Amino acid sequence: MKQYFFSAVLIGLLTLTGCGHQGAPEQEASFDYNVDQFADVKVLRYQIPGFEDLTLNEQKLVYFMTQAGLEGRDIMWAQNYRHNLEIRKALEKVYVDFPGERNSDEWRSFETYLKRVWFSNGIHHHYSNDKIMPEFSAKYLKELLIESGASLEGEAFEVIFNDKDRKKVNLSKDADIVLESAINFYGPDVTTQDVEEFYGAVTVDAEQPIEIGLNTRLVKENGVLTEQVYRSGGLYGQAIDRIIYWLEQAVTVAENPAQAKALNLLIEYYKTGDLHTWDEYAVAWVSATEGNIDWINGFIEVYNDPKGYKGSYETIVQIKDFDMSKKMSVLSEQAQWFEDNSPLMPEHKKKEVKGVSYKTVVVAGESGDASPSTPIGVNLPNNNWIRQAHGSKSVSLGNIINAYNNAGGSGRLQEFAHDAEEIELEEKYGALADKLHTALHEVVGHASGQINPGVGTPKETLKSYKSTIEEGRADLFGLYYLMDPKLQELGLVTDWQATGKAAYDGYIRNGLVTQLIRLNLGDDVEEAHMRNRQWVSAWVFEKGEDQGVIERVVREGKTYYDIKDYDKLRELFGQLLRETQRITSEGDYEAAMALVEDYGVKVDQTLHAEVLERNSQFTSAPYSGFVNPVLVPELNDQDEIVGFQIVQPESFQAQMLEYSKTYGNL
């Protein structure tokens, strides 16, 4: 489960010189976080503080795991859409080999389109799921292809310009959400009914259910539904074999036996595709809490599957941030207190919150669904029985958050905040409030609550609403405790009321107003996290309007939301948390649908047009992502690794082309 960066100040925050490992070693004093900006995207750099303090074997472990992650990069492209790899290869050949004019408006439009495709790991927008439409003609692309000696024909060419497969993930209640989603987890002729009947017939252990369908593509072969398994010798086998190679190197430098056990199980899983082995790995991984290095690796998050079965390929390699982890471990230690004192119904509270491990980490490399657009917090594993029996790991990606915060701001806060007091609170306490909300969301939010006996998993009961309900539930848990003196008692804040007010201001401002800059006028809200922020914010606004909790203010034609009573707002967050947990615990699909559809999907078009107009004055892009630092091994005369140099890529294009060249396994 992921937490993404949505600053209350702004919503999110790359020259081609070749394809090699270019750039200069990192220097803290003059580090430039900004790489490029195009369309609605800003590309940043991040540093790896503390890497130099690791032992050589620990550095090797980081290197081997980042290599393993990058070897599977093509899998995410293939998962996102069936024509992505063919399109990317053709466009990259044009970019490298086109001999003609590169200063024309059409060429610049082509370059921007390619950058957007790189950033999204395919032709659909990484966040909105809409197909990215080029601002150049099909005729021009044909000319580029011919002059570059590249080939792209048939549907793969036509789909760039037509209306087919326009949504990567279509969650409209009126759609066949499988058939009308371009995501490549299912064959193009597989329907929602096919998926429900196929997986509805699968019998699993009720006490320890595997995540059925997690690592497969469901297709029709001669009219019969069958699963293509991601494994060595199976679907994506060429890339998986390269992943396995680097994981085997990692085993040789594991920090301890528990790490080695987890890595060996991960290797076995990639070889066989067996989901029971995946669960064994997850148990071993969540139990391996010692050591300075950790990782996320596999087919994990199911947000990209409209039915919530299929895991997207993702890797993050992490180094422990010792200072911050020590400070934040108090939340893990107090997890039971938060559960016991929450507004949940007594029967929905966990009697024993198991092993919630929370660390602030330093990211050393990312790939797949975590790159270039990255989360800032992750809580895994997702399998609920493992979480209940063995606990979970929650991490905050500290250097990623730091890069966001140091990449420069904008005037959006002054534009969208209601008054000077709200601005002052945000500037003084907003960053800490964001950090604490992420921690509370991941550590106590996702770890809280329990499902009633005999009720199926949320994936089965809440269906397409599962992800947004779960993210909203975790958000609400965090929001409820952000206005609690317990945070000051634990030494996490110096002024719990001011920090809570900043958090509440930022959440409501984002949920009702500023996140709308991510949408095109006329669009519904479809992404799970955006939906949850809107339904949470819209619900408490509606319920508290008559009580004077939040006031909608229109001043000089501009709309603002002003919180009048923070204590009552906290009560409303608690009521909604209680109801959201009830929905989850009881598997109440109708209530989940009503909550999301009534509050989280539709957009006030007049307000949306106003927000887009007010935002047009700002040049900072609404979405951000990252290039990865490059770990370059230093070798002795025997070709043994004796050290590493960290090199920052000078351009987004150079890194993308290098990745395709070095890790193009499919």
Percent of the chain predicted with pLDDT > 70: 95
Token output for 480: 């409820």
What's the pLDDT at 435? 84
Instruction: Burial-class residue 562 by CB neighbours within 10 Å (0-12, 13-18, 19+).
Output: middle
pLDDT of res. 240: 98
pLDDT at 4: 52
Q: Is 265 helix (H, G, I), strand (E, B) or coil?
A: helix
Alpha helices in 234-377 (DSSP H): 237-251, 257-272, 275-287, 322-333, 335-340
Nearest to 291 by CA among 327, 329, 253, 323: 253
Q: Count how many residues are written for the chain.
A: 666
Residue 563 has pLDDT above 80, yes or no: yes
- Write the CB contacts of 568 (distance below 8 Å, at least 6 apart in sequence): 544, 547, 549
112-119: average pLDDT:
98
Q: Is the pLDDT of residue 361 over 60?
A: yes
Answer whether residue 603 shows pLDDT above 70.
yes
Q: What is the mean pLDDT of residues 136-158?
A: 98
Helix (H) or strand (E) holding 366: strand 356-368
pLDDT tops 90 at residue 661: yes
Average of pLDDT values for 405-427? 86
Band of residue 473 on the pLDDT scale cut at 50, 70, 90: very high
Burial class (CB in 10 A: 0-12, 13-18, 19+), 212: middle
Tokens of 407: 């990449």
Q: HSE-up of 120 (CA within 13 Å, CB side)?
A: 30
pLDDT tens, residue by residue, 478-505: 999 999 999 999 999 999 999 999 999 9
pLDDT for the residue 276: 98
* Residue 323 CB neighbour total at 10 angstroms: 11
Please give the model's pTM, rounded to 2 decimal places: 0.80
| Model confidence band, residue 2 (pLDDT cutoffs 50, 70, 90) | low
Q: Where are the domains of the chain?
A: 28-45+50-163+642-663, 409-615
Q: Give me the pLDDT at residue 105, please.
A: 96
Inter-residue contact 430 to 502 (CB < 8 Å)? yes
394 — pLDDT class (breaks 50, 70, 90): confident
Res. 10 pLDDT band, cuts 50 70 90: very low
Residue 488's pLDDT is 96
Q: What's the pLDDT tens digit per position in 447-466?
A: 899 999 999 889 899 999 99
Distance separating alpha carbons of residues 536 and 443, to the nearest angstrom: 20
pLDDT of 13 > 50? The answer is no
Q: How confident is the model at residue 3 (pLDDT cuts 50, 70, 90)?
A: low
What does the pLDDT average to over 311-338?
Answer: 88
What average pLDDT score do residues 616-641 get? 93
Range in 25-29, 103-107, 308-312, 340-344 with the lowest mean pLDDT: 25-29
* Sign of torsion over alpha carbons 479, 480, 483, 489: negative
Euclidean distance between CA atoms 534 and 549, whole angstroms: 17
Cβ proximity of 72 and 266 under 8 Å: no
Write down the number of H helices and E strands in the chain: 25, 15
CB 72 within 8 A of CB 367: yes
Before 453, cis peptide (omega within 30)?
no
Query: Taking 80 as the threshold, does the pLDDT of residue 89 lie above it?
Result: yes
Residues 106-122 have a mean pLDDT of 98
Q: Of 183-192, 283-292, 329-338, where does mean pLDDT reach its minimum?
A: 329-338
CA-closest candidate to residue 298, choices 249, 255, 247, 254: 247
Q: Is the separation of the CB atoms in 238 and 219 below 8 Å?
A: no
CA–CA distance, 168 with 180 (Å, rounded to integer)? 8
Q: What is the pLDDT of residue 98?
A: 98
Instruction: List CB contacts of 326: < 8 A, sequence separation 6 or more.
Output: none
End-to-end CA distance of the chain: 27
pLDDT of residue 459: 85
Please tell me the predicted confidence (pLDDT) of residue 618. Answer: 84
Confidence of residue 408 (pLDDT cuts 50, 70, 90): low
* Distance (Å) of CA 526 to CA 123, 128, 477, 549, 596: 17, 7, 22, 28, 10
**Cα distance between residue 557 and residue 46, in whole Å:** 40
299 phi-psi bin (left φ>0, alpha ψ -120 to 50, beta other):
beta
Q: Which tens digits make up the pLDDT trace of 507-526?
A: 999 999 999 988 889 999 98
Nearest to 39 by CA among 106, 166, 168, 135: 135
CA 23 to chain centre: 28
Q: Where are the alpha helices (DSSP H) in 149-205?
A: 154-158, 192-200
Is the pLDDT score of 83 beyond 80?
A: yes
Confidence of residue 25 (pLDDT cuts 50, 70, 90): very low
Element (H, E) at 658: helix 652-663
